[in-house]
């Protein structure tokens, strides 16, 4: 099982689409980093913003420069699904899945494929954003304490606002550790999206691969528009409020985790069903 | 393409229209002019024009998503003849350019149906909830909106089809949709003075009706127009030119493309 997983992951890492998605993410991260370097060159440390609040994933950024954040938000559904999510569909078109199934067994193939898609997408989304954390720590003063809304990060009022964020204790303990953990969670969410796309391609067969990109896009579209159905609930429903760092919008975490659990269960069930099905049917 | 995707097109248009009507059309006093309604569909919020800030631009991006789904649905209608049965198709239809002209026209027709249906759904749902005051400027703006967005959809969908001939459907769609999304995101450059000048070169900016002015006096009155150099007739002309250029490029590509080329879809 482990050998098959390693083999599938290696194959996915070498795919053009995976490398292209990683390149796009690196370009976004680099554009964000270079803009900040030029913006803050020669600034006094007391006017500087905390390095973690300059990250591309930081919600505080959108106050003064929303360009890269908007690019990420718009491209994310496409990138998350396209990185490795279409690999299974491609193998089916080539008939490659039949060969691999014959060698390692149907169940082992589908489970390792799903795991590999999840793992590869997670890594693809993790490396650029972790690199950005390291780069920001090198380029900007780590003792800068300013926040973009004009408050010191240790200001009691700000701390109160931060309590609405995910893992407030961790944030107050160390913003750096908080950024790393939230980045890992973001990458895991990307992995789940890709696994969902791959699982769909295991159970539903369409002639053109690009049609598999529609369901994840619809999923994110539904999240962005779900406020229509509970307008007075008061909680943020847009998906990016759940992945952006330092975002203290009121969120409905229970629904978010339920949707996430639903996606994971669907993906697992689809892989199991695909594993049991005759590949020639 | 002979009616194959009409069901999916209608469902996407009606679904997208309903969501847009419920989410974006919420007049404070319970009634609104048609001109105001049409402008809200392309970014403005009530009396306020769309700003280049995070909130407005993400909302604008969300509004364009049904269009991208339409492109995915229609993105292989022309290409599918090339990747699976090109020899069969063209042995029975030797005049390839004429065939291409008909197919391109069908894509344009579908784009028009999709956009008109979406707008009519928005108006229908809004009528059930609020009062719409029909004004002449609103009717002209409606026609401008419909034509601009239909032409834009046509250009994107035809581009997906043509790129798919070379790169396969998924790569073509990812590339084209990604490019459109990047252009939408680049509207944020309008946040500063230097970036505002760049907006004129961004096709996505020409889809925001409230940023325009017009030669029609009655339309000028209802448009908020923060960018005086953009006008509706010019933007319409721009998309007509885009459409013509892409259609001619497509004719050249398909006329010269080898029928026996390997199947791009499976790289076989």
pLDDT in tens, A104-162: 888 888 899 999 999 999 999 999 999 999 999 998 888 777 665 556 667 777 777 77
Record: contact B185-A228, CB cut-off 8 A: no
Q: Which residue of B has its CA nearest to A18?
A: B171
**Which pLDDT score, from 0 to 100, does residue B168 have?**
77
Q: For the residues of A135-147, what is the DSSP string, one character each?
A: HHHHHS-TT--B-
CA-CA-CA-CA torsion sign (A212, A16, A77, B83): negative
Q: Which residues contact A48 (CB under 8 A, 6 or more apart)?
A: A40, A140, A141, A144, A146
Mutate which of A61, A210, A212, A246 to test chain B, going by most B C-beta atoms within 10 A? A210
- The Cα–Cα gap between A170 and B227 comes to 45
Please identify among residues 76-105 of chain A the ones whose CB lies closer than 8 Å to any CB of chain B.
78, 82, 86, 90, 93-94
CB contact A154 to B (< 8 Å):
no
CA-based nearest distance B203→chain A, Å: 16
CB contact A27 to B (< 8 Å):
no
Among B1-15, B93-107, B235-249, the range of highest mean pLDDT: B235-249
- The Cα–Cα gap between B204 and B213 comes to 16
**Spatial CA neighbour of B232 closest among B208, B262, B254, B204:** B208
Helices and strands, counts by H and E, chain B: 12, 2
Record: contact A228-B76, CB cut-off 8 A: no
> How many interchain CB pairs under 8 A, A with B?
105
Break chain A into its structural domains and give their ranges.
Answer: 2-276
Does residue B60 have a pLDDT over 80? yes
**Which pLDDT score, from 0 to 100, does residue B268 have?**
42
**Which pLDDT score, from 0 to 100, does residue B3 have?**
55
Which pair of tokens denotes residue B235?
């933007």
CA-based nearest distance A197→chain B, Å: 13
pTM over 0.95: no
Percentage of chain B beyond pLDDT 90 is 22
Does residue B247 have a pLDDT over 90? yes
Average pLDDT over residues B167-185: 86
pLDDT in tens, B74-101: 877 777 776 666 667 667 777 778 888 8
Q: pLDDT: is B92 or B72 the higher one?
A: B72
CA-based nearest distance A277→chain B, Å: 22
Q: ipTM value, please give it.
A: 0.78
Three-state SS for B213?
Answer: strand
Which pair of tokens denotes residue A232?
């007075």
Mutate which of B18, B22, B43, B65 to test chain A, going by most A C-beta atoms within 10 A? B65
**Which pLDDT score, from 0 to 100, does residue A96 have?**
81
- The Cα–Cα gap between A121 and A139 comes to 28
Record: contact A210-B173, CB cut-off 8 A: yes
φ/ψ of B133, rounded to 5, equals -95, 110
**Spatial CA neighbour of B209 closest among B186, B191, B232, B188:** B232
Record: contact B61-A24, CB cut-off 8 A: no
Record: contact B65-A217, CB cut-off 8 A: yes
Record: contact B182-A75, CB cut-off 8 A: yes
Record: contact B53-A66, CB cut-off 8 A: yes
The angle, 0 to 180 degrees and rounded to 10, between the axes of the packed helices B136-167 and B169-185 is 140
Match 């973690």 to its residue by tokens: A52
Does residue B258 have a pLDDT over 70? no
pLDDT in tens, A196-233: 999 998 888 887 777 888 888 888 888 887 776 665 55
Average pLDDT over residues A51-80: 86
Question: Which residues in chain A have Cβ-Cβ distances shorter than 8 Å to B76?
Answer: 208, 210
Which pair of tokens denotes residue B85?
């049965």
Q: Decide: B50 and B212 in contact? Cβ < 8 Å.
A: no
pLDDT in tens, A261-277: 999 999 999 988 888 87
CA-based nearest distance B215→chain A, Å: 32
Percentage of chain A beyond pLDDT 90 is 26
pLDDT in tens, A185-205: 999 999 999 999 999 988 888
Q: Both ends of chain B: CA-CA distance in Å?
A: 25
Record: contact B169-A214, CB cut-off 8 A: no
Q: Which residues contact A88 (CB under 8 A, 6 or more apart)?
A: A97, A113, A117, A198, A201, A202
- The Cα–Cα gap between B186 and B201 comes to 11
Does residue B239 have a pLDDT over 50? yes
**Which pLDDT score, from 0 to 100, does residue B265 have?**
57
Give chain B's mean pLDDT. 84
Question: Which residues in chain B have Cβ-Cβ distances shorter than 8 Å to A198?
Answer: none
**Spatial CA neighbour of A241 closest among A132, A128, A165, A181:** A165
Q: Which residue of A has its CA nearest to B56?
A: A70
**Which pLDDT score, from 0 to 100, does residue B117 have?**
94
CB contact B72 to A (< 8 Å):
yes
Average pLDDT over residues B6-31: 86
Average pLDDT over residues A249-270: 88
CB contact A177 to B (< 8 Å):
no
Please identify among residues 217-236 of chain A the ones whose CB lies closer than 8 Å to any CB of chain B.
217-218, 221, 224-225, 227-228
**Which pLDDT score, from 0 to 100, does residue A153 have?**
62
**Which pLDDT score, from 0 to 100, does residue A280 have?**
62
> Residue A226 to residues A218, A229, B49, B197: CA-CA distances in angstroms?
12, 6, 24, 35
**Which pLDDT score, from 0 to 100, does residue A229 have?**
65
Average pLDDT over residues B218-241: 84
Question: Which residues in chain A have Cβ-Cβ distances shorter than 8 Å to B268?
Answer: 94
CA-based nearest distance B170→chain A, Å: 4
CA-based nearest distance A236→chain B, Å: 13
Record: contact B186-A211, CB cut-off 8 A: no
Residues B175-179: contacts with CB within 8 Å, 24+ apart? B176/B71, B176/B75, B177/A78, B177/B68, B177/B71, B177/B72, B178/A24, B178/A75, B178/A78
Mutate which of A74, A83, A227 to test chain B, going by most B C-beta atoms within 10 A? A74
Burial-class residue A274 by CB neighbours within 10 Å (0-12, 13-18, 19+): buried
């Amino acid at each position: 099982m482990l050998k098959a997983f390693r083999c599938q992951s290696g194959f996915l890492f070498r795919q053009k689409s995976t490398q292209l998605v990683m390149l796009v993410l690196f370009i976004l991260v680099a554009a964000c980093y270079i803009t900040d370097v030029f913006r803050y060159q020669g600034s006094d440390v007391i006017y500087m913003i905390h390095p973690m609040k300059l990250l591309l994933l930081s919600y505080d950024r959108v106050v003064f420069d929303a360009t890269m954040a908007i690019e990420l938000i718009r491209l994310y559904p496409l990138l998350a699904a396209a990185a490795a999510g279409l690999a299974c569909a491609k193998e089916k078109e080539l008939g490659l899945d039949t060969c691999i199934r014959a060698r390692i067994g149907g169940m082992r193939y589908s489970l390792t494929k799903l795991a590999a898609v999840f793992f590869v997408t997670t890594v693809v989304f993790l490396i650029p954003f972790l690199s950005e954390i390291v780069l920001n720590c090198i380029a900007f003063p780590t003792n800068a304490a300013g926040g973009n809304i004009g408050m010191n990060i240790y200001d009691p009022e700000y701390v109160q606002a931060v309590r609405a964020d995910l893992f407030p204790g961790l944030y107050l303990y160390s913003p750096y550790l908080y950024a790393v953990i939230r980045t890992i969670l973001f990458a895991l969410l990307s992995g789940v999206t890709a696994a969902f796309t791959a699982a769909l391609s295991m159970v539903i067969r369409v002639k053109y691969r690009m049609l598999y990109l529609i369901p994840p896009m619809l999923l994110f579209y539904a999240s962005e528009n779900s406020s229509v159905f509970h307008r007075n609930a008061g909680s943020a429903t847009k998906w990016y409020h759940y992945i952006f760092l330092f975002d203290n919008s009121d969120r409905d975490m229970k629904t978010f985790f339920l949707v996430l659990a639903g996606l994971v269960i669907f993906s697992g069930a689809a892989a199991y069903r695909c594993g049991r099905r005759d590949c020639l049917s | 393409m002979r009616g194959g995707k009409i069901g999916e097109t209608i469902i996407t248009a009606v679904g997208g229209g309903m969501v847009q009507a419920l989410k974006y059309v919420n007049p404070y006093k319970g009634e609104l002019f048609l001109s105001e309604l049409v402008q809200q569909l392309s970014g403005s919020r009530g009396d306020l024009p769309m700003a280049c800030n995070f909130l407005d631009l993400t909302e604008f991006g969300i509004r364009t998503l049904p269009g991208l789904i339409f492109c995915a649905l229609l993105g292989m209608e022309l290409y599918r003849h090339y990747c699976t049965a090109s020899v069969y198709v063209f042995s029975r239809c030797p005049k390839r350019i004429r065939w291409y002209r008909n197919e391109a026209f069908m894509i344009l027709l579908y784009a028009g149906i999709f956009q008109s249906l979406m707008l009519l759904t928005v108006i229908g749902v809004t009528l059930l909830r609020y009062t719409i005051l029909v004004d002449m400027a609103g009717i002209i703006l409606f026609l401008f909106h419909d034509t601009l967005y239909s032409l834009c959809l046509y250009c994107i969908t035809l581009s997906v089809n043509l790129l798919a001939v070379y790169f396969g459907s998924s790569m073509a769609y990812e590339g084209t949709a990604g490019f459109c999304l990047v252009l939408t995101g680049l509207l944020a450059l309008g946040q500063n003075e230097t970036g505002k000048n760049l907006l004129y070169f961004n096709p996505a900016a020409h889809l925001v009706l409230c940023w325009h002015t017009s030669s029609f006096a009655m339309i000028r009155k209802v448009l908020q127009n923060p960018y005086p150099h953009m006008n509706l007739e010019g933007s319409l002309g721009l998309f007509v030119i885009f459409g013509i250029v892409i259609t001619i490029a497509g004719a050249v590509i398909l006329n010269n493309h080898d029928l026996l080329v390997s199947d791009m879809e499976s790289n076989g």
